Amino acid sequence: MTRGYPDLTDPIQLDARAAEVLSPMAAGASAWAVNALASPAPRPTTAAGSMTIATAYNVKWQPKTRVFVHAAVIGTATGDVQFAVNGSAWGASVQAGSLWRSAAQMAGDDFGAFVAAGADVLDIDIAASDALIAAAVAAAPPLGVWAHTLTRRIQRDRARALGCRGTVTDYPAYVSGRAPRRSATSIATGFWGAGWVPTGSARPVLDSSGRIPLPAPKSATDTQVLLAGEVSETPAAGTGTFEVKFSVPTAGASGWSLLSLHLGATDAATKLSGTEILHDGYTVQVSNSSSLRVYRDDVATGTSTQLANTASGATLVAETVYTLRCVVTGTQLTVSVPETGLSTTVTDKTHRAPWSVFVGRNYNASATGLIHIISVTTS
């Protein structure tokens, strides 16, 4: 089961944002079946009395409908939950029966003691080690172990493999896999599609023209990289054409340095750093002075190898739409900016995979302008 805090621009959202509505599952059915993808963001409280934390509208009530209300207990807090219909109490109040634990807390936890004391769910941190997550699963709480807070499918797959029954995610349509893959991003409509996940702490906003104004990183440790989840997990052969359309409001070195298109064998949170290789793949780049660069990332050796770096040329013009294009065949990668005639080809067949697609930029102290991401397409 997947519970998601609503990214209201994800294409799959339900009106029941206060709770998950669970329909009966057939014998042997996967516990990961997703029947609803909505719940509110956490609303911690120390109030002595009851308070409304969320309201659901237009719930489709049916015979034998079951409602699961998930209330997490943090630290030693206690409390209970009352479900109401049209303002009137419905059923008995339910004592909050789950434990939400951080990776740091889990290091000193006795999960068996939590279950013996009545915890029916353990909400554990996906950042914890395999051993700690496995220990929580082994404690066998009645409703299983849920992992929080997932943003990527590689985390989902790890949670499943370790025995977790469900996940908590900010990107339910993408992480669950219920949103179909698109060949072109939907940002031009003014709405985020499923799975635009930032590597950094915050996702940029969409502007009034349906573009992503990608800001300059503020330091060498700052990251401005976005997973374009809605066009990711491309066909298994790993070949095809990948394009980013972009423009810049300020031309030259003071505006921007490099724009990167990254193809990753997984959707792990790449930082476009040669010293932090999280998966196999390729990074192709265009500079403000028309140079094209190609790198191959190898996770086994933790290295990034430069395969091409063309000479600089004319400065790309401000407020002009350009295309950074990468054509991957079985043996070669051809990188180009067709509006300028720039092109370079490298022969390399090391990695081919169902690519996760990323766009981003690296830190450069003198480059402080924006890069407008207009669209990302695959074919």
Task: Read off the DSSP letter of residue 297.
Answer: E
pLDDT band at 61 (very low <50, low <70, confident <90, very high): low
Q: How many helices (H) and strands (E) does the chain have?
A: 5, 25
Do 164 and 178 form a contact (C-beta atoms < 8 A)? no
Q: What is the pLDDT of residues 302-351, one digit of tens each?
A: 999 999 999 999 999 999 999 999 999 999 999 999 999 999 999 999 99
Return d(Cα 332, Cα 30) in angstroms, integer.
Answer: 41
* pLDDT-derived band at 10, boundaries 50, 70, 90: very low
SS3 content of the chain, % helix, strand, coil (to 5): 10, 30, 60
Where residue 67 falls among pLDDT bands split at 50, 70, 90? low
**Superfamily for the 187-378 domain:** Exo-inulinase; domain 1 (2.60.120.560)
User: Mean pLDDT over residues 124-131, rounded?
Assistant: 97
First vs last Cα of the chain: how many Å apart?
32
Identify which of 281, 285, 279 has the alpha carbon closest to the alpha carbon of residue 296: 281
Instruction: Check if the beta carbon of residue 369 is closer than 8 Å to that of residue 215.
Output: no
How far is Cα 342 from Cα 333, in angstroms, rounded to an integer?
A: 14
Q: What is the pLDDT of residue 296?
A: 98
Domain ranges of the chain: 2-176, 187-378
Output DSSP code: residue 143: T
pLDDT top residue among 51 and 306: 306
Q: Is the pLDDT of residue 245 over 50?
A: yes
How far apart (Å, rounded) are the C-alpha atoms in residues 84 and 5? 21
Q: How many other C-beta atoms are found inside a 10 Å radius of the C-beta of residue 285?
A: 23
